[in-house]
Structure 1
Amino acid sequence: MRVFAGIAAGLMLASCSSNAVTRAFDTRNNAGPCPPAAVLYDASRIVELEGEEPNFSNITYTGELNGIRLFCRYVDDQPLRANLELDFAFGKGPKADANRHEYRYWVAVTRRSSKVLAKQYFSVDANFAGEKVTGQTVTLEDIIIPRADSTISGANFEVVVGFDLTDDQLAFNRQGRRFRLDAGQ
């Protein structure tokens, strides 16, 4: 329970920043590997619709997680501290009613391919500034990866990311459907 509380506290301390990730760490080689970081495929995109029919004319906003990078640092027998960079792409559809839109996403720290140790929700604000598509890179700093002592490798953990989806949006993604507002550009 103390491990979970520590992870949760570490994730809660994570903050968005536009600063370079490399600034947060010194240049010494790591004592071990960083945990793998990945976007959960079923939650890698979001399509928000207005109306019953899932067609192009009913799209309000779309989003995709296009890339993820994790940078970590080993310090003695302490938990790993990591920074996470996320690359987002956003689209504004025909039914969109504003030039700004907030997207919710989550970050989870897991044991390798199994138990979720901590999960926290974040949001990113897309500013379309009159455009139909835009993108943004977000940096989350000071994510805590638990390890009991210095013999535990970061390879025993994973960091997984995805959009916060409704059941209908998840079913839409699992059916292989998608709309890309930048297609043909």
Structure 2
Amino acid sequence: MKNRGLRRGWVRHIAWTGIAAGLGLTLAACTSGEERERIEALPCPAVAILGDTEKLTVYKDGGRDITDLVLRAEIDQAVTQCEYDVDDGIIYVDIAYRGTAELGPGAETRQLSVPTFIALTEVNRSVLRKEIRPLNLNFSGGSRRIEFTQTIEETRVPYVAPFDGSAYELLVGFQLTADQLELNRAEKAARR
């Protein structure tokens, strides 16, 4: 009889282990689904156009006369979308920005490349890195004014919980010379 009790206890233990394992698998499946939903709900880093860098004015040979004007361009909107790779600790961010560009009378070509930048910052803090990227503008046909869209795919942003994408901001703009920046600030002050 004693032997039977041991066997029953052993069978009961196996049954409970099986139920617990099954329940564990069910809970694990729920947890991974919940985890997936939690990750999908994490925010992307914010994106903004850095003040005073949204406009670019290019003159030829350092002139300031309207006849020397080569190009005026403006970035007017920027957006992001992102995907988290929790295992590797990376947020992959796709950035797109758009704007307009207009050839001036001083333009000698219909294809121009102008420098833009993307900077990764901690929100309201320091710049972590900055990349200069060309924006190629092609004024085809007789067009003097065009709209452009620039996309930058899979910019890598570090992810270390509990700091998610909201801890970062991506800034875009034209990479300006000191004279171009001064001109933008002067024009902005004149409009006030």
Find out whether 1:39 has 2:49 as its counterpart: yes
CA RMSD of aligned residues (A): 2.1
Secondary structure of residue in 2 paired with 1:173: helix
Task: Give the one of 123, 133, 144 matched to 2:145.
Answer: 133
Q: Which range moves more in the overlay, 95-104 or 51-60?
A: 51-60
What residue in structure 2 maps to residue 30 of structure 1? 40
Task: Give the one of 118, 135, 146 matched to 1:124.
Answer: 135
Secondary structure of residue in 1 paired with 2:105: coil
Q: Once the 2 structures are TM-superposed, how far is the Cα of residue 177 of structure 1 from its aligned partner? A: 5.6
CA deviation vs aligned residue, 1:138-161 (integer Å, no higher than 9, x gap): 2110101112x2321211100001
Task: Give the one of 95, 105, 115 matched to 1:94.
Answer: 105
Secondary structure of residue in 1 paired with 2:181: helix
What residue in structure 2 maps to residue 162 of structure 1? 173
Structure 1 alignment gaps of length 5 or more: 1-26, 179-185
CA deviation vs aligned residue, 1:64-116 (integer Å, no higher than 9, x gap): 11111111112325221100011031110011101111111000000001111
Q: Could you tell me how far apart the structure 2 residues matched to 1:91 and 1:101 are?
A: 11
Cα contact 1:73–1:80 (8 A) shared by 2: yes
Cα contact 2:81–2:95 (8 A) shared by 1: yes
Cα contact 2:69–2:107 (8 A) shared by 1: yes
Q: Percent identity?
A: 26
1:1-185 residue pairs with structure 2 within 5 A? Answer: 30-50=40-60, 54-76=64-86, 78-129=89-140, 130-147=142-159, 149-176=160-187
Aligned length, in residue pairs: 151
Structure 2 alignment gaps of length 5 or more: 1-36
What residue in structure 2 maps to residue 9 of structure 1? none
More helix by share: 2
Q: Could you tell me how far apart the structure 2 residues matched to 1:74 and 1:153 are?
A: 9
Cα contact 2:39–2:84 (8 A) shared by 1: no
Larger radius of gyration: 2
TM-score, normalised by the number of residues in structure 2: 0.72
Cα contact 2:118–2:131 (8 A) shared by 1: yes
TM-score, normalised by the number of residues in structure 1: 0.75
- Higher-RCO chain (CA-CA 8 Å, sequence separation at least 6): 1
Q: Could you tell me how far apart the structure 1 residues matched to 2:124 and 2:116 are?
A: 20
Q: Could you tell me how far apart the structure 1 residues matched to 2:62 and 2:135 are?
A: 26
CA deviation vs aligned residue, 1:125-180 (integer Å, no higher than 9, x gap): 11111211111112110101112x232121110000110111100000011269xx
Change (3 A) 1:31 1:76: farther
Q: Could you tell me how far apart the structure 1 residues matched to 2:115 and 2:54 are?
A: 12
Q: Could you tell me how far apart the structure 1 residues matched to 2:182 and 2:136 are?
A: 24
